[in-house]
Structure 1
Amino acid sequence: MAWIASQAYYQVQREVSEGQQRCSVSDRRIDLYHDRITTHRREFELGHVFDISYRRIGGGIGMLYLHTSIGVFSYTVNTDPMPFIACFKSMPGEKASE
């Protein structure tokens, strides 16, 4: 099944080994389907998602937050997530209520 909307995010992993720090960046995406939202490691049924919000940090980077029935999950983004959020909020059907 094809996704309705997609938002790029990335994960930075830092490792310290032998007194040196190494960073690796992994590009990932959040996909919105008619019944769920998927990330690299998680899948949320839309009925378990309360809201999606965004906070800009600076320098073109921000945090996208998925507010779910099992907690809030944060994702680092460097592109505007407002179209993705608008698509989620305009979807018909039941979403979780707080």
Structure 2
Amino acid sequence: MKIIAALPYMVVSRSIDWNKQHFIEREEKLILAEDKITSHINEFTLEEIWDISFRASSSEYGFFYLHTNQGLFSYRVKTEPSEFMNKYQEMKKRVKKYE
């Protein structure tokens, strides 16, 4: 699998210990390969992805959205995903060209 681009995103988990709530934030990556996008949980072929979008929500975070045939998946990102989105559009055009 050849990696074309990667987009770091944050995963927040919550735990309760001795009646105290703790939030644990860890970084994962969305990986754009030649034929799919993979997260730490999901994998979508380019044919399964209908669209991608981004919405800035605060000065620190934004939300990157994958619109797929399985539903909408959101990822909390710290960086502007324009490079990742451009690479995705290039790959999507290549896939459509060969259909």
TM-score (norm 2): 0.89
Runs of 4+ in 1 over 3 A off after TM superposition: none
The Cα of 1:59 is off from its aligned counterpart by 1.8
Q: Does 1:71 align with 2:74?
A: no
- Structure 1 SS opposite 2:75: strand
The Cα of 1:61 is off from its aligned counterpart by 0.6
Q: Which structure 2 residues correspond to residues 1-98 of structure 1 after superposition, within 5 A?
A: 1-91=1-91, 92-94=94-96
Q: Give the aligned CA root-mean-square deviation in angstroms.
A: 1.0
> Using the alignment, how far apart are the partners of 2:17 and 2:51 within structure 1?
39
Per-residue CA deviation, residues 29-66 of structure 1 (Å, 9 max, x unaligned), is 00011111100011001100011100001123100000
Structure 1 letter corresponding to 2:11: Q
Per-residue CA deviation, residues 72-97 of structure 1 (Å, 9 max, x unaligned), is 00000001111101111122113xxx
User: Percent of pairs identical after alignment?
Assistant: 35
Structure 1 letter corresponding to 2:50: F
In structure 1, the gaps of 5 or more residues are none
> Using the alignment, how far apart are the partners of 1:19 and 1:7 within structure 2?
35
> Using the alignment, how far apart are the partners of 1:83 and 1:60 within structure 2?
18
TM-score (norm 1): 0.90
Structure 1 letter corresponding to 2:42: R
Identify the structure with the greater helix proportion: 2
> Using the alignment, how far apart are the partners of 1:56 and 1:16 within structure 2?
30
Per-residue CA deviation, residues 1-34 of structure 1 (Å, 9 max, x unaligned), is 2210110001011122322011111110000111
Structure 2 letter corresponding to 1:26: R
Structure 1 letter corresponding to 2:29: R
